[in-house]
A = this chain, B = another copy of it.
Amino acid sequence: VTRQDAERLDAADPLAAFRERFVLPVGVIYLDGNSLGALPRETARRVAEVVNAEWGQDLIKSWNLHGWIDLPRRVGAKIARLVGAEPNEVLVADSTSVNLFKLLAGALRLQKGRPVILSEANNFPTDLYIAQGLIELLGGGYELRTVPRDQVLEALDARVAVLMLTQVDYRSGALWDLAAVTERAHAVGALVLWDLAHSAGALPVDLNGAGADLAVGCGYKYLNGGPGAPAFLYAARRLQEKLRTPLSGWLGHAAPFAFEPEYRPGAGIDRFLCGTPPILSLAALECGVDLTLQADLTLVRKKSLALGELFLDCVQGAVPEFALASPVDPNQRGSQVSLRHPEGYAIVQALIARGVIGDFRAPDVLRFGFAPLYTRYVDVWEAVTILAEIMATRAWDQPEYRVRRTVT
């Protein structure tokens, strides 16, 4: 594969114009949009407007005047279009972890008599930790059962209250068939809680097409919502009125400004609001979502797969010593390719020092994420070329590249 091959792919890319809509640092190849999406140009303008004009000038009036009070619903309705849901089925609120807690707690209550939360042993830790915390709080009677990925479906039985899975594995990028798994779970009466952290904005998701129950997702990855952007949650319309959240904060009340002494859950999805949302971060998220909505997600998926294939072609040609940590079949991957190498940590540091930003996940995984709205084919080609230089010269073998940082 030559650089010219990559350039030809870029020239023919129907999404190429989106790259100009982002701020990207010069001299950097950013393959970590699966961890923190890049800054949309519009966001800087919009955040300044919210700070200076709305907060600064209109102060408290902005809750009505600029619709701050509706932002969680408004941005939720926009995200709904990206994940195959109705506008009143998605809400932006809190963090993914907090939203997992709300929905898991609600689901266990609905599934009385079923004691098991089933998940995958390699699920993203916060999903498992939240289930553990909830079960511990409930003081017995419930069990988090985690099994290897290939045993999840056979572990479904009548004791399972909720099957909790992340559609795209954070480490390997392995992709679950959302519709097929949902169907299998429903066949034994289990609900499914999907974590769409690495799916939303990266590939078409059709929650309602799959008859999905519950989902959560992340605003700061492929939705480009900014660091720690608020998360979202989805509850199928048919379940909403049956679900109670224990995080019954005032903004989820049926009449928040009546200041009633007793909690009454808000209508539908509104009940999953809790406290006052962080407006600056929420406004930034809206810009990222708006930009994603302008793209055709089928084209996004197509380019994502092509970027991954180009990456693997280059790796196989130039650095065949890396093992593939992702599924071989591109249709079973999300929008990242992960490699495995015993010196993975140091190699990632050496890449970063040369302007190629991927990341490392213990124990030995190098992750390379492809954000089709701003990742070019030539970026992928150059990243592997630099990786090959690092390996050929053992440039990774420096003490400084073994110093562990706080965030890896």
- A interface residues, Cβ below 8 angstroms from B: 23, 25, 28, 30, 32, 35-36, 38-39, 43-44, 47-48, 51-52, 54-64, 68-70, 94-98, 101, 105, 109, 121, 124-126, 128-130, 132-134, 136-139, 146, 171, 220, 226-231, 244-250, 253, 257-263, 274-282, 284, 352, 357, 359, 361-362, 405-408
Contact B361 A97 (CB under 8 A): no
**A254 CB to closest chain B CB, in angstroms?**
11
Contact A133 B245 (CB under 8 A): yes
Contact B263 A129 (CB under 8 A): yes
Contact B357 A228 (CB under 8 A): no
* Most interface-central of A95, A146, A261 (chain B CB within 10 A): A95
Contact B278 A230 (CB under 8 A): yes
* 5 extra A-B contacts, CB within 8 A, seeds A36-B60, A133-B244: A63-B406, A98-B249, A121-B261, A227-B280, A258-B362
- 11 example contacts (A-B, Cβ-Cβ < 8 A) are as follows A25-B59, A32-B59, A39-B52, A59-B357, A61-B357, A63-B406, A69-B407, A98-B275, A124-B259, A125-B253, A257-B406
**A364 CB to closest chain B CB, in angstroms?**
12
Instruction: Indicate how many identical chains form the complex.
Output: 2
Chain B residues contacting A105 (CB-CB under 8 Å) are 137
Chain B residues contacting A352 (CB-CB under 8 Å) are 61
Contact B59 A36 (CB under 8 A): yes
With the chains together, A30 CA to B55 CA distance in Å? Answer: 12
Choose among B44, B134, B408 the residue that contacts A56 (Cβ–Cβ < 8 A): B44
Contact A246 B136 (CB under 8 A): yes
**A69 CB to closest chain B CB, in angstroms?**
5
Choose among B56, B60, B62, B132 the residue that contacts A262 (Cβ–Cβ < 8 A): B132
With the chains together, A270 CA to B263 CA distance in Å? Answer: 30
Choose among B129, B138, B258 the residue that contacts A253 (Cβ–Cβ < 8 A): B129
Contact B125 A250 (CB under 8 A): yes
Contact B276 A63 (CB under 8 A): no
**A61 CB to closest chain B CB, in angstroms?**
7
Contact A32 B60 (CB under 8 A): yes
Choose among B126, B257, B279 the residue that contacts A275 (Cβ–Cβ < 8 A): B126
Looking across the interface, which residue of chain B has its beta carbon closest to that of A128?
A: B261
Chain B residues contacting A62 (CB-CB under 8 Å) are 227
Chain B residues contacting A260 (CB-CB under 8 Å) are 125
**A229 CB to closest chain B CB, in angstroms?**
7
Chain B residues contacting A249 (CB-CB under 8 Å) are 95, 97-98, 126, 129-130
**A202 CB to closest chain B CB, in angstroms?**
16
**A351 CB to closest chain B CB, in angstroms?**
12
Contact B136 A227 (CB under 8 A): no
Chain B residues contacting A229 (CB-CB under 8 Å) are 278
Looking across the interface, which residue of chain B has its beta carbon closest to that of A55?
A: B39
Contact A47 B129 (CB under 8 A): no
With the chains together, A101 CA to B137 CA distance in Å? Answer: 12
9 closest A-B pairs by beta carbon, nearest first, are A95-B275, A97-B249, A133-B248, A278-B281, A97-B275, A126-B250, A227-B279, A137-B246, A129-B263
